[in-house]
Amino acid sequence: MDLTLTSFAPAMPEMFLLGMLSLVLVVDLFLTERTRHITYILSLLSLAGTFWLVLDGYPRLPELAFHGSYINDPMAALLKLFMLLAVMVVLVYSKEYIKQRDMYKGEFYLLVLFATLGMLVLASAHTLLTVYMGLELLSLSMYAMVALRRDNVDASEAAMKYFVLGAMASAMLLYGMSLVYGATGTLDFALMGEAAAKLPTNDVTMLFGIIFMLVGVAFKLGAVPFHMWVPDVYHGAPTAVTLFISSAPKLAAFAMLMRIFVDGLGELHQQWQGILIVMALLSFGLGNLVAIAQTNLKRMLAYSGISHIGFLLLGVLSGTSEGYAASLYYAITYVVMSLGGFGMILLLSRAGFEADKLDDLKGLNDRSPWFALMMMMLMFSMAGVPPFLGFWAKLAVIQAAVGVGLVWLAIAAVVFSVVGAFYYLRIIKLMYFDKPESDAPIESSADLRILLSANSLAVVGLGLFPSSLLAICSASIG
């Protein structure tokens, strides 16, 4: 048994984050409300340090650790970099908001860090057990985050729903894992595909395992018909928490999908493709249609998120490495746009006022032309208008679907994305052509303004030069 320190090197970023997390946990105990910014800075430093370690250890070839249960490959590293970036952005965006709402406690930062650790583990999982461990670390932290404002009725209700449904989904996933383990005799993704290929086609145990695991993964992604929690949780949770839930964990859920169904069960692509086709079709169909009826911005973005997940599945179900790369690209794109969208709500909110209704955006152009422009770019990007980032992501996944002959599905995707354009454009209409309901100035800190502008400009910048990020995604799928 090789037990030198180097054999743990692939997990170095996670170990560093755990160490820093423990430090933050202890330091925060001795801080008061006035010195809490130390926790904030320490959390950002931990994430930045982890980011640097991931970048420093960026692997060319997959490296295994912990007896094959942990992998550090280019896909994991790329996902981790974007997860860490997204979490750092979340912390900066939400600082003022949580201060105004009595959530400025060490626990908020600790739960974010714990959830981040879970995401990193999930991205690097190479056995079913590691997947489950990462997932639970992530999910439990998120349940607690939603419930952080425990005197708020909406938040408590959202947390309860999220917890009960989430626990069900975890149970389904675990049941599926046990069936797959029973059928293949292994938990290790490296051996699973081989063992599964030896089984007779349509082996019932395996089929059940796949379906139960897909249910669990689809729940975490928020794909129809396992999407019920998404609007309620996004709506009920404090916006800072919604911002978090809608961003980095989507990358983690994508990683989970890729690890289980491509790394592990890639050989059985035929068996899971059909289910993913149905889920993708329902997701972008229902998500886009129901989003039209929403009057609450958070709910609308939740349904829009569901439809984006449908597009994301489009790449994965094609079963080609181009498709996987396109989905990876889509996931990253979605996170960038979602951060901007929810960030805008945080920007417009102030103490005692949630800017989460569509009407709150009315006449934003009169109040702040610059942020109206930023929001317009984000909405164009989400709708998939060229040359913004969202267009290239949609193009990539649709190309992947066409590439494997699923032309009808690609056409359906295009049709529904046109339907979806309606509610994004309605926001632009509200901002530019309606009269503002209040002329209260936008009070928000400079760091939020600067970062949100950078976030929105990234949507344009990455959209004008789409090939670089797409090339990185392709290279990391290999």
Residues in contact with another protein by CB under 8 A are 3, 18, 22, 25-26, 29-30, 202, 204, 207-208, 211, 270-271, 273-275
204 vs 292, beta carbon nearer another protein: 204
183 vs 427, beta carbon nearer another protein: 183
What backbone phi and psi angles, to 5 degrees, belong to 295?
Answer: -110, -10
Residue 222 CB, shortest distance to another protein, in Å, is: 22
User: What is the DSSP code (8-state) at residue 188?
Assistant: B
**Inter-residue contact 309 to 349 (CB < 8 Å):** no
Residue 319 CB, shortest distance to another protein, in Å, is: 13
**Inter-residue contact 325 to 474 (CB < 8 Å):** yes
176 vs 266, beta carbon nearer another protein: 176
What backbone phi and psi angles, to 5 degrees, belong to 410?
Answer: -65, -40
Residue 271 CB, shortest distance to another protein, in Å, is: 7
181 vs 208, beta carbon nearer another protein: 208
206 vs 309, beta carbon nearer another protein: 206
Task: Say how many residues make up the chain.
Answer: 478
> What separation in angstroms does the CA of 108 have from each of 80, 95, 294, 347?
21, 10, 29, 19
27 vs 44, beta carbon nearer another protein: 27
Residue with tokens 């690209």: 329
Structure tokens belonging to residue 195: 């063992």
Residue 207 CB, shortest distance to another protein, in Å, is: 6
> What separation in angstroms does the CA of 12 have from each of 55, 74, 119?
11, 15, 15
Residue 202 CB, shortest distance to another protein, in Å, is: 5
Residue 127 CB, shortest distance to another protein, in Å, is: 19
| Residue closest to 105 by CA, chosen among 264, 238, 265 | 238
Q: How far is the C-alpha of 348 from the C-alpha of 371, rounded, in Å? A: 10
Torsion sign, CA atoms 99, 101, 104, 108? negative
25 vs 174, beta carbon nearer another protein: 25
Residue 161 CB, shortest distance to another protein, in Å, is: 21
Q: How far is the C-alpha of 335 from the C-alpha of 325, rounded, in Å? A: 16
Residue 270 CB, shortest distance to another protein, in Å, is: 8
404 vs 458, beta carbon nearer another protein: 404
C-beta atoms surrounding 333 within 10 Å? 31
Q: How far is the C-alpha of 212 from the C-alpha of 341, rounded, in Å? A: 33
Residue 51 CB, shortest distance to another protein, in Å, is: 23
Radius of gyration of the chain from its Cα atoms, rounded to whole angstroms: 21
Residue 5 CB, shortest distance to another protein, in Å, is: 10
Q: How far is the C-alpha of 313 from the C-alpha of 296, rounded, in Å? A: 26
97 vs 143, beta carbon nearer another protein: 143
What backbone phi and psi angles, to 5 degrees, belong to 435?
Answer: -85, 140
273 vs 296, beta carbon nearer another protein: 273
Q: How many CA atoms lie within 13 A of 7 on its CB side?
A: 9
Number of helices (H), then strands (E), in the chain: 20, 2
